[in-house]
Amino acid sequence: SYKTQRFSERILNPVYELPTFIEYKSKHDIERCARILSISWCVKEAIFKALDGEDQSNFVMSDWYKTNDLRGRPQVGNDKYLKIKQEEFLCSLSHDGNLVSSFIIRQSKPSVANCWNGKQCND
């Protein structure tokens, strides 16, 4: 429906999330569509609450996205967020049945100068 399309476009990132939603919508997999929307909403709500007031005022839900790394751990990103090079958002996501919860920790990325023996901190 028009409302579903509009709502999903407001919530889901057009590159990383919306194509998957559209695929399942075309297959009439309502449960999978609901899961995609609820997880995305939950993660982005947690991101919003981790931001300061200035960044909250510029928040666009569909700019943010959740992906998984090769080990299946959730990661969040935003290709338009200018501070993304200095900050990282650690995401914890849990879902059980019809319930989903997400926690975000927003922190400065460690600099090489702050690492022991000049070793990369992200290794």
Task: Render each residue's pLDDT in the chain as its tens digit; 123 residues.
Answer: 889 899 999 999 999 999 999 999 999 999 999 999 999 999 999 999 999 999 999 999 999 999 999 999 999 999 998 887 899 999 999 999 889 999 999 999 877 455 555 555 555
> Closest Cα partner for 88 from 41, 121, 113, 39?
121
Cα separation, 26 vs 18, in Å, equals 12
Q: Is residue 106 part of a domain?
A: yes
Residue 87's CATH number: 3.90.470.20
Cα separation, 57 vs 60, in Å, equals 9
| Element holding 18 (H helix, E strand) | helix 18-26
Report the number of distinct structural domains present in the chain: 1
Q: Is residue 34 part of a domain?
A: yes
> Closest Cα partner for 88 from 100, 74, 102?
74
Q: What is the pLDDT of residue 110?
A: 78
Give the three-class secondary structure for 71: coil
* Residue carrying the six token digits 């992906």: 67
Q: Is residue 93 part of a domain?
A: yes
Q: By residue range, what is the domain housing residue 107?
A: 2-118
**Model pLDDT for residues 28-41, shown as the tens digit of each residue:** 999 999 999 999 99
Q: What is the pLDDT of residue 2?
A: 84
Q: Is residue 123 part of a domain?
A: no
